[in-house]
Chains A and B, each alone.
Chain A
Amino acid sequence: MRFGLVMLLCAALLTLSSTSRAGSLIPATPDVGDLLVIAVSYDDPDGLSDVVTLNITIENPLGQVFQLPIDAPLPSGTGTIQLGTVGYEGLYCLYAWVEDQCGASSDTLVDCFTSGSSGPPSAMPH
């Protein structure tokens, strides 16, 4: 009975992880000094606007917010982007949405991680 509950709990957690990370079953937890890399896929289904803007917002453990508008020259795209280096220990949250030339926006997707200190010594932020 106890074993069954544990299995059920594990399955639930796995499902939650899979859903929230859109299929990424291995949590990505960059540490201080690591490259911050995101995977993203977006789509502008009607092609009315051939350039969409991919907006990435990063909130670091200090509460500082960085917004990165990225011109994406295709109506759809899939890939990974190196955003920069993790500078602090603590909770990072990243937000992503796309906007087309007609001003229509997608829903915002969120992914968070907690960075550790196992990386090389951090440099002072710019």
Chain B
Amino acid sequence: MRNSLPCLKYVPLLVVSFCLMLAGAAHARQDGIYKNSTGLQNAYIQTYDEDGSMVAILTSDLFNYKVFVLGSWPSSASVTDALNSKRTATFSRTSDKNITLQLRLNGSTEFSGNISKAFGAPDEVVGVPTKDGIWGPVSGGSFPKMYYQTYQSTHSALHLVQDTPGIFAFIDDNYENGTENLEELGGRQKKAYIYSFETYLQTKAASERNYTGYLDIRYPDGTRKQVNMELKIPAIPIDECAGNRNPTVDYFYVDNLSGYAEDGLKKLSKDTLY
């Protein structure tokens, strides 16, 4: 897989975005990868549940990251960098595809301008609930924490793994084939490595995203973790009812037979009197 995307190895997330330029139009929802016109700012945007909470992870070099967690995001909000209390960001949503971003460090403006959605998320596979969201250990520990996002058309996925050594970005250019042997993006001399990320859907209902998984990862410092993970905070899915067709009753009649429930139909109490 890495050979198919050699340009991704030593370039910022912006260039990753270009290399993965998807044919499909950006999705109407807010989630996705955003960038500014010059390519100096790249933002991973993911929203959760109905309360409008949002995580934004910013980077320009795939080495230094800024993490902003917004409890709600009605249209504009300011928040402190979770990794650097001296930095603040103001996000103002101007459309489903555009955000005005202002970054301030120690009171001085670092960046001010528009960032636009380059890749819409999550990927839409009819009948398969998305795995997008924040993953964490089943055991309940904080790390590794994995921000996971899938993109339309190419079925690519971005893994942003946050752990004590730092944040590491991985691209899986076809997550439907399974995830294994992902080398960290960016220019570190010794890179993090995902040996495998396997996921399992625990329920059949499309509306429920009860996923578990297994993450096998090695960090640049040589430590290796093999962790049972679960989808802790699911991202807002694409409307799963888009394209839904009406169910049908093919036949229905009062029967002579004293039959029994079949094919999952529930048998009611025969003692009920009508």
Contacts and interface: CB of A to CB of B under 8 A. Distances in A.
B270 A84 contact: yes
B26 to A, nearest CB: 23
- Chain B binding surface, main DSSP class: loop
A99 to B, nearest CB: 7
A58 B273 CA distance: 11
Nearest to B247: A44
B262 to A, nearest CB: 3
Interface residues of B, number: 40
Interface in B248-274: 248-274
B207 interface: yes
Contacts, number: 196
A108 B246 CA distance: 12
6 contacts: A28-B253, A39-B253, A40-B251, A84-B269, A109-B252, A126-B272
Given A35-B270, A72-B265, A84-B270, A109 B255 contact: no
Interface in B221-245: 240-241, 243-245
Interface of A: 21-24, 26, 28-30, 35-52, 54, 58, 60, 64, 66, 68, 70-74, 76-88, 92, 94, 96-109, 111, 113, 122-123, 125-126
Interface of B: 126-127, 204-207, 240-241, 243-274
A48 B241 contact: yes
B272 A84 contact: yes
